[in-house]
C-alpha cells in the first residue's frame, strides 16, 4: 500500500528565497508530524497536526517557518527567507490517531540553501 | 525496493529481562543506521551506526551493526518500565534519504 510520500525529494535554493515542502500522509491517518534532521544529528520535532489543526507548534525554530494541513490530508511546510542553517532533511510522518501511535515516515526532502 | 524491516513487531517482558530488537535492511547506497526510542511526539535519538562490528553502548542499551548480513540489533539489559516505548530503526542512504522501519513496540511489565 501507499506509504507517506514527500516532494520534492531534493531542493536546492538560494539564501533569502522561500521554499515549500509537501507531505502526503497515509490515507486515513489523522496525525501528521514534521521533523528536521541535520547531518549526523537526531530528529528535531517541528510541528504536529491532529486533523487540520496544530496543537503543538513548539518546535518551529522561527517565525520564518509555517505549516498547514488541509482536508486532513496533505500538509505543506513553508520556510520563508531561507538561511543556510535551514539546510537539512525535512521528514514527515503520519500516524493513525494520535501521538502515542506508531509513526510512519516518508523518505524526506533534502533542502540545501546556498 | 529499499526497505527496513524490524522484528518482532511487539514484545512484552517483565522488569529485569533482557531484550534484543532486530532491524534488517535492504538499502542501496547505505550511509548509516539509526535507532530511536519513540514515547511521545518525537522519537529520541539513541545510536547512529556506520561501521560493522563496533558496539555502541549507552547505559543499559547497546547496539551493533553487521553490514555484511545487513542487520543491526538493539539490546536492552535489566529492562525497566520506563523502557516501554516503540523502538524505531532507520537507514540513511547517500543523498540524505531515510528509510524507516515500522518499529518494535516494547512493553515492560513491573
CB contact residues (below 8 A), chain A span 29-88, against chain B: 33, 35, 37, 39-45, 48, 56, 59
What is the distance, to the nearest Å, from the Cα of residue A34 to the centroid of all Cα atoms in its chain?
3
pLDDT tens digits for A35-89? 998 766 667 889 989 999 988 788 899 999 999 999 989 999 999 999 999 999 8
- The Cα–Cα gap between B105 and B110 comes to 16
- The Cα–Cα gap between B64 and B68 comes to 12
Q: How many CB pairs under 8 A join A and B?
A: 55
Eight-state DSSP code of residue B81: G
**pLDDT over threshold 60, residue A1:** no
Are A110 and B97 in contact (CB < 8 Å)?
yes
If one counts every other C-beta atom within 10 angstroms of the C-beta of residue A28, the result is 10
Are A43 and B97 in contact (CB < 8 Å)?
no
- The Cα–Cα gap between A51 and A45 comes to 18
Instruction: Please report residues of B whose CB lies closer than 8 A to that of A107.
Output: 97-99
Please report, for residues B1, B8, B15, B16, the alpha-carbon distance to residue A34 in angstroms, rounded to integers and kept in the order given.
24, 27, 34, 35
CB contact residues (below 8 A), chain B span 5-64, against chain A: 34, 36, 38, 40-45, 48
- The Cα–Cα gap between B110 and A31 comes to 31
Chain A's closest residue to B99, CA to CA, is: A107
Asked if A5 and A92 touch (Cβ cutoff 8 Å), the reply is no
pLDDT tens digits for B6-28? 999 999 999 999 999 999 999 98
pLDDT tens digits for B17-74? 999 999 999 998 898 899 999 876 668 889 989 989 989 999 999 999 999 999 999 9
If one counts every other C-beta atom within 10 angstroms of the C-beta of residue A64, the result is 14
Of B85, B46, B81, B104, which is closest to residue A99 (Cα–Cα)? B85
Instruction: Please report residues of B whose CB lies closer than 8 A to that of A91.
Output: 98
Amino acid at each position: 500500500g501507499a506509504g507517506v510520500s514527500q516532494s520534492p525529494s531534493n531542493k536546492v535554493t538560494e539564501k533569502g528565497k522561500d521554499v515549500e515542502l509537501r507531505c502526503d500522509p497515509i490515507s486515513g491517518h489523522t496525525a501528521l508530524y514534521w521533523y528536521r534532521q541535520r547531518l549526523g544529528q537526531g530528529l528535531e520535532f517541528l510541528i504536529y497536526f491532529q486533523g487540520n489543526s496544530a496543537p503543538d507548534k513548539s518546535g518551529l525554530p522561527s517565525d520564518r517557518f509555517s505549516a498547514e494541513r488541509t482536508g486532513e490530508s496533505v500538509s505543506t511546510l513553508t520556510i520563508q527567507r531561507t538561511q543556510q542553517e535551514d539546510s537539512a532533511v525535512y521528514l514527515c510522518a503520519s500516524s493513525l490517531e494520535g501521538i502515542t501511535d506508531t509513526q510512519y515516515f516518508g523518505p524526506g526532502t533534502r533542502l540545501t540553501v546556498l | 525496493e529499499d526497505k527496513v524491516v524490524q522484528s518482532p513487531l511487539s514484545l512484552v517482558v517483565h522488569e529485569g529481562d533482557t531484550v534484543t530488537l532486530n532491524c534488517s535492511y535492504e538499502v542501496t547506497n547505505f550511509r548509516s543506521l539509526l535507532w530511536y526510542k519513540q514515547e511521545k511526539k518525537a522519537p529520541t535519538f539513541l545510536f547512529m551506526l556506520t561501521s560493522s562490528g563496533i558496539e555502541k553502548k549507552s547505559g543499559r542499551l547497546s547496539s551493533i551493526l553487521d553490514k555484511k548480513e545487513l542487520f543491526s540489533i538493539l539490546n536492552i539489559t535489566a529492562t525497566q518500565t520506563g523502557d516501554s516505548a516503540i523502538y524505531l530503526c532507520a537507514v540513511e542512504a547517500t543523498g540524505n534519504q531515510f528509510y524507516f522501519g515500522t518499529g518494535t513496540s516494547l512493553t515492560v511489565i513491573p
